[in-house]
Structure 1
């Protein structure tokens, strides 16, 4: 079986290193050329290395996986998506015959996906080249993220965005308060989640210290205090109050 040269693209270091270790241990015919954690660097590296296959995360800040693909004039590599994305995206993958891995990645699923990939490649060496444009037209880069991957020290948690009440900055970490009363502390700074949720209509950034889910606002006091579900309090900086009140009137 011929060696397949691979590039991994995922902004989460832990996720990409886990996938790399699984590939090296369980899929010996894959040769990893590069692991890319900065999406903005991906196009240049791919153009230089010319991999046969990329493992591509969708949900990345600044430049997501679909936007990266759109930046190429010609797609001359195959793609396996790695995602915690919503069902609409997954259905589009299926319709267009793209393989995908759901996070957190499972070794057996990785092996099964690679097996399917080899079978498709054997029967039709160019099976994906004409399908990327069709996929991008169908998917149209959804702007409402339904699930997010939350990096923690020692692991990952996948959350439904509808379950998140708010996110608060905590000295380079982020505390995420959930509807069920739990609090998750992420090893990522708040700006990471600002990027992930910037196009989500339910979330609003309160200065540089927090993000709230507008659906969970119970009360607002004129001095700038928001009361959220589970009696969570968030303060709105004076300079941001006018814009926030205008947002509330739109809802």
Structure 2
């Protein structure tokens, strides 16, 4: 797998090269660059299968590079220092990232995903969700759409239409308003909880359940307490969340 690194930090590029050479010789770094303009030139020249892409560079964002490239077919693994807004944007776009300093374990996990998706390309919708999310944060707004990665591809849904999320081992099941089939996402529920709890209408009510309070029909105190959603589904409520839940239901 041919790859390119685009990162303005020389040391970061060197560390990544060393990790790949030592643990993943199947990934061959054919070139590296330090800014958006150079990254675009290298991608057009070498046509890599994978791009390691820094988010914040002197002449723009890694997201800008993807927008400038237009049509392309390569996988992207973002590299970033801790930037909660950028990470949220990446997750809402159903893409992968590595935090600096890059660890061997996280790199291996990201590469496994990239290998599985080598025949896919990032869609324009995913890029638009990334950019919309960042712009919304700049304007103190929350994202309105999310890309949900499944075994069959990427689905795009309005956040307001999501009824609830439920843990299914290492996956997450989404229930969507007016969507007959449930959606099984490729990430575990822990990857979604922090992102959705930014919204006042979403709340974790159990270790396996996150619900949209707008779709709650009633709270039942019997059997330890549970919610009945508008579609008739019953959702268990942990005692630790009960008081906060009842308070929020009164004020939603």
CA displacement at 1:198 relative to structure 2: 2.1
- Describe the SS at the equivalent of 2:63: strand
Specify the alignment match of 2:118 in structure 1. none
Alignment of 1:73-152 (within 5 A): 102-104=124-126, 139-142=138-141, 144-152=142-150
Q: Which runs of 4+ in 1 moved over 3 A?
A: 29-34, 50-53, 81-84, 135-139
| Whole-Å separation in 2 of the counterparts to 1:145 and 1:28 | 31
Where do 1:25-64 residues align within 5 Å?
28-29=44-45, 34-36=51-53, 42=54, 54-55=62-63, 63-64=84-85
Q: CA RMSD in A?
A: 4.4
Which string of whole-angstrom CA distances, capped at 9 and with x for unpartnered residues, describes residues 63-94 of structure 1?
122999xxxxxxxxxxxx9986xxxxxxxxxx
Q: 1 CA distance for matches of 2:83 and 2:168?
A: 22
Task: Give the whole-Å Cα distance in 2 for the aligned partners of 1:217 and 1:35.
Answer: 42
Higher relative contact order (CA 8 A, sep 6+): 1
- Match for residue 12 of structure 1? none
Deviation at 1:222, TM superposition (A): 1.1
Residue 176 of structure 1 deviates from its aligned partner by: 0.4
Q: 1:136 to 1:147 in 2, by over 3 A?
A: closer
Provide the secondary structure at the position in 2 that maps to 1:28.
helix
Q: How many residues align?
A: 165
| Structure 1 residues 52 and 246: alpha-carbon distance in aligned structure 2, compared to 1, 3 A threshold | closer
CA distance in 2, matches of 1:226, 1:184: 21
**Residues 8-46 of structure 1 deviation map (CA, whole Å, 9 limit, x = unaligned):** xxxxxxxxxxxxxxx99xx6248879525xxxxx57xx6
Alpha-carbon distance between aligned partners in 2 of 1:137 and 1:160, rounded to the nearest angstrom = 14
Displacement of 1:203 = 0.9
The question of 1:241 aligning with 2:239 is answered no
Q: Residue 94 of structure 1 aligns with which residue?
A: none
Deviations 1:89-119 (A, max 9, x none): xxxxxxxxxxxx842469xxxxxxxxxxxxx
1:236 and 1:82 mapped to 2: Cα distance? 26
User: Quick check: 2:63–2:127 contact (8 Å CA) kept in 1?
Assistant: no
Q: Normalized against structure 2, the TM-score is what?
A: 0.52
Report if the CA contact (8 A) 2:92-2:145 is conserved: no
